[in-house]
Structure 1
Amino acid sequence: MSEREASSIDAINYTFGYCDELNPLRLKLPLLQAGLALPSVHTACELGFGHGVSVNIHAAGSATRWYGTDFNPSHANFARQLVDSAESPAQLFGESFSEFCRRDDLPDFDFIGMHGIWSWIAAENRALIVEFIRRKLKAGGVLYLSYNTQPGWTAMVPVRELMQRHFQVDPAAEPGNRADAEAPVPARISAAVDFARAVFATQPGYALVNPLLAERVDALSQANPNYLAHEYFARDWHPMSFLQVASSLEAAGLTYAGSADYRDHIDEINLTPVQRDLLATIADTGLRETTRDFCVNRSLRRDYWVKEPRTLSDDERDAALRAHRVILALPRDAVALKVRGALGETTLPEALYGPILDALSSHRPTTLSEIEHGVRARGVTFAQLVKAVTLLVSMGALLNVQDDVRISAARPLSARLNAAICEQARHGEDVQFLVSPISGSGIFMPRVAQLFLLARLHHLQQPEQWAEFAEAVLRADRADSQAGREPAALQSATVPSGADMIAKANRFAQVHLPILQALGIA
């Protein structure tokens, strides 16, 4: 890929997603279950923060001082606007990794996070980051790292090369005619995806020996184009095995602590009995994790690594687990006792999960010790409770809760950031998460719900008033889009009728608002 093509991909804005694994509070349950001491996270850093949704939510939602960088100027500017809106102390830069990692004014960090970028950067940048981690991560500090991995990506490697070559040069063009190569990047990406689908439509031999691949290729046509640009068409793209990553991070003095994906801690939904028995015989961490990746055909790893970890005694571990707090984040009746793991969908036993959810139905922060006391008579052991809570957090039914001092510190910053995000909802739906000062994490909030909250901030008290406010905003925005000749897909977006909007507002008031108030958002 030429420098010009690489720059055109780099210039495409990434999505406005949120990554909960970058919340330092989330590392508590996995590390404690691994028997490892927890760091007290006062300083944290996110490398490659994209539009900065996650880093801003985590900076506003806790007392942690955040730093970070993203080399895309548009990303960095958007992220800094959110910082200004929240009046957050976060320090976010628009620098390359080589510039940021060599700064002499950065503190040492208790937590460093990277989501996805490890797979999309060159070897020299990975080496630079490893050295940065070696120097700047404190003893006992934690690294969160997610990356595309083998064997789950193996079959897609030739497909990616096929699409990228089509992106670089249209084989249907006449000799010397580079018109398609000069076409807008999104159009060329779409054409490359269509070409890959056309190849698979011929039922090539590669598809016959990889029968699930055609569906995966076909799904690319429905994916966000900005995501596709960075995931499949960037110059650097390196799915790695666990052993390759471990080899790099050991140079920074890091030890693998466990998966940041809470579902990974429940073997029953991911591994057959035979697979569990096999893994139990493997003492070596690298071999065991590599074997596990084969068992679940993993394509994305989300991992925690610790620098100079300290092991807890069983009593210390259990005391810390019992003191951990969670809160029910959904209506009790809305929690579906189904979860999807590597083995498919599993139905969770009501006899175990029902009493736990009942103990949390008040929607207040509750310690695992309090839950244990409430469910003991139902025959639920503490070990079962810990696993069940872990799984319920992975499902989004429960949220981890931070201590009261951090909650108090986070309330004013969270309120300002949420108000700014809801104000942006007047003009679009880019950011669909608000911050809870209770959990210090992002809560999914679609545009209409944000407009209802914005109406409340404007002192409109009744659901009918919220509905009228939201409908007026959406109609005005649709008119502006049409006047500005926005893409047809945006122009054709329908605005709910008045009756539908009132029904939405009433449901929001009755079902969702009480929980948002419990989470400190409303």
Structure 2
Amino acid sequence: MGELDTGYVDGIAYTFGYCDELNPLRLTLPLLHAGLDLPTVQSACELGFGHGVSVNIHAAGSTTRWYGTDFHPPHANFARRLASSAESRAQLFGEHFSAFCRRDDLPDFDFVGMHGIWSWISDETRALVADFIRRKLKAGGVLYLSYNTQPGWTPMLPVRELMHRHFKVGAVSESHNGMVAEERMQVRIKAAVDFAQAVFATQPGYALVNPLLAERVDALSGESPNYLAHEYFNRDWHPMSFLQVASSLVEAGLTYGGSADYRDHVDEINLSPAQCGLLADIGDTGLRETVRDFCVNRSLRRDYWVKDPRTLSDDEREAKLLAHRVILALPRASVVLKVRGALGETLLPEALYGPILDALSSYRPVPLSDIEETVRARGITLTQIAKAVTLLVSMGVLLNCQDDAQIRAAQPSAEKLNAAICEQARHHDDVQFLVSPVSGSGVFVPRVPQLFLLARMHDMQEPAQWAEFAEAVLRAASQATQTTTGLPSGAATSFADLIAKAKRFAQIHLPILQALGVA
């Protein structure tokens, strides 16, 4: 069905992004920070998986049995092809929530994830999903939920209404002019954005009392139509406060477990001393989270909710924290000790972070207990290590790690999925993530490095051979694009550039990808 039938813009494909928060392994540090027990995730579900990049990576990179649905046929078909390539056990459907959530052949789940869904569905559908979670999430199980929130989105509400109305008017008055549906959608979206910018160019009173809004509206022209379509132009678009969301989830038997954004667990980079003091005196979770959102002007929440959580004793929490493993995912020399929080950019102290990074320089999974033993002589405590590791994971410097048995079990399906994604790189750069069986998560690998890896899969061992292979593939793809569209495909990469990239890839990036089980 089209957007006039469902209220959802399905005439234009969504992006091929990856969401690490949907990886159940990521639960560990936030839940332990809150003193809550961890579920053993044997079965998991993603509702509204888009092109299925995340769900396929997490299914291929772990022993978890994944289920999920996305009603848009091109999305579901692409996702199922990836699952078939990986030979994973993922069960992926192309059903609306109204059908999927009423299926009687689904297991109960230890983890349910929804990224970018809650704010874009109707009240009726949210009630249906909340009931599904109430019935199908196990005791101790976790829900990951992201959603647009207030107060950060509040100034944009009238702007979105303005653009959406122009978009709807355009649907009635436009001339098709022989364009395919996706092209017509792109034209309408661009026209709506241009109209909003034209309104702001007149310096309306609303812009004067919201001086940062004009810049935000101008930035829309730099976004892809695929992103804008699904962010702004659905019929349902509801940025909600934490309290509004909590009212639905508490009724479903869930308790707030903590933020899935690791940076939120380090107050020093987000809150002033006065704000920290204010929040410390607020005992009610709903009120405290609402005040925190005001303090940081939050526009997107990423939250974990737990069904019937079990609180850990201090000894239990410490034991699980010490057993948690992480791995260095960047060259040690390239790590920049800066992180951006709500207060802006913060420099991280070398005296604390340097020894921790040095303890991980073997590029293998290391438990926090080993890090503690290595840095104990420097007076660094487990509490400091946990906070530092949390920030380093948020920066992409470290990845959480599975245990060795899970890594071995995931290796075959991870290899198959990575081979399939690299093979797709012959034709396009849609999927720019590969799966690490070590972390069970996605690792950013753009098209050209994927082609280098594909060359290695074909027994080409030297960087010069990888460059030659990549050049031939890119040249053939460029010619095919020009033949199909009559338009040039963009700036070509010179062979000299490819040689340089291949040598750098071999020297710097390949060893890390090998440590992560990607290559």
Say yes or no: does 1:509 pair with 2:509: no
User: Is 1:520 the counterpart of 2:509 in the alignment?
Assistant: no
Distance 1:180 1:193, change over 3 A: farther
Structure 2 residue aligned with 1:138: 138
Residue 345 (structure 1) aligns with: 345
Q: Corresponding residue for 2:10?
A: 10
Deviations 1:418-454 (A, max 9, x none): 0000000000000000000000000001000000000
AA of the residue aligned to 2:451: L
Please show how residues 153-172 of structure 1 align to structure 2 within 5 Å. 153-169=153-169
Q: Which residue of 2 aligns with 1:152?
A: 152
1:116-515 matches, within 5 Å, as: 116-169=116-169, 178-179=174-175, 184-485=184-485, 488=487, 491-515=488-512
Measured at CA, do residues 6 and 219 of structure 1 come closer, stay the same or move farther in structure 2, by a change above 3 Å? farther
Contact 1:372 1:385 in 2 (8 A): yes
> Structure 2 regions of 5+ residues with no counterpart?
none
Amino acid at match of 2:514: Q
Segment of structure 1 superposing worse, 363-372 or 202-211: 202-211
Q: 1:143–1:512: structure 2 CA closer, same or farther, 3 Å change rule?
A: same
1:47 corresponding residue in structure 2: 47
Distance 2:490 2:363 in 1: 36
Kindly provide the amino acid, as one letter, of the partner of residue 179 in structure 1. Answer: S
CA RMSD of aligned residues (A): 1.5
Counterpart Cα distance in 2 of 1:400 and 1:33: 15
Q: Which amino acid aligns with 2:175?
A: A
Contact 1:62–1:406 under 8 Å retained in 2: yes
Structure-2 change in CA distance of 1:385 and 1:188 (3 Å)? same
Q: Which amino acid aligns with 2:9?
A: I
Q: TM-score, normalised by structure 2?
A: 0.97
Distance 1:360 1:295 in 2: 35
2:500 aligned partner, one-letter code: A
Note if contact 2:101-2:132 (Cα within 8 Å) is conserved in structure 1. Answer: yes
Counterpart-to-counterpart distance in 1, 2:290 and 2:8:
36
Q: Displacement of 1:201 after TM fit?
A: 1.5
Which deviates more, 83-92 or 162-171?
162-171
Aligned in 2, Cα 1:191/1:455: closer, same or farther, shift over 3 Å?
same
Give 1:495 deviation, angstroms.
2.1
Write the distance in 1 (CA, Å) between the matches of 2:162 and 2:464: 54
Kindly state the Cα deviation for residue 180 of structure 1 after the two structures are TM-superposed.
7.9
SS at match of 2:306: strand
8 Å CA contact retained: 1:471, 1:495: no
Secondary structure at the counterpart of residue 10 of structure 1: coil
Quote the offset at 1:200 in angstroms. 1.2
Output the CA distance in 2 between the equivalents of 1:93 and 1:72: 10
The SS at the match of 1:312 is coil
The 3-state SS of whatever aligns with 1:138 is strand
Residues 3 and 234 in structure 2, CA contact (< 8 A), matched pair in contact too: no
Structure 1 segments of 4 or more deviating over 3 A?
Answer: 5-8, 176-183
Change (3 A) 1:3 1:379: closer
By how many angstroms is 1:385 displaced? Answer: 0.6
SS in 1 for 2:434: strand
* Residues 11, 72 of structure 1: 8 Å contact kept: no
**2:92 equivalent in structure 1:** 92
TM-score normalized with structure 1 length: 0.96
- How far, CA to CA, are the matches of 2:5 and 2:342 in structure 1? 37
Q: Following TM superposition, by how much is the alpha carbon of 1:179 offset from its aligned partner in structure 2, in angstroms? A: 3.3
1: distance between equivalents of 2:306 and 2:369?
27
3-state SS of the aligned residue for 2:363? coil
Tell me if structure 2 keeps the 8 A contact 1:60–1:86.
Answer: yes
CA distance in 2, matches of 1:58, 1:241: 30
How far apart, in 2, do the equivalents of 1:393 and 1:468 lie? 35
Q: For residues 228 and 125 of structure 1, do their structure 2 counterparts lie closer, same or farther at Cα, with a shift above 3 Å needed?
A: same
Q: What whole-Å deviation, never above 9, does each CA across 1:172-195 have from its counterpart, x for those lacking one?
A: xxxx96538998111010011011
Contact 2:452–2:466 under 8 Å retained in 1: yes
The AA in structure 2 aligned to 1:102 is R
Separation in 2 of the partners of 1:177 and 1:363? 59
Question: What is aligned with 1:72?
Answer: 72
- When the two structures are aligned, how many residues end up with a matched partner? 514
Deviation of 1:10 after TM superposition, in Å, equals 2.1
What is the CA-CA distance between 1:5 and the residue it aligns to? 7.4
- Identity among equivalent pairs (%): 75
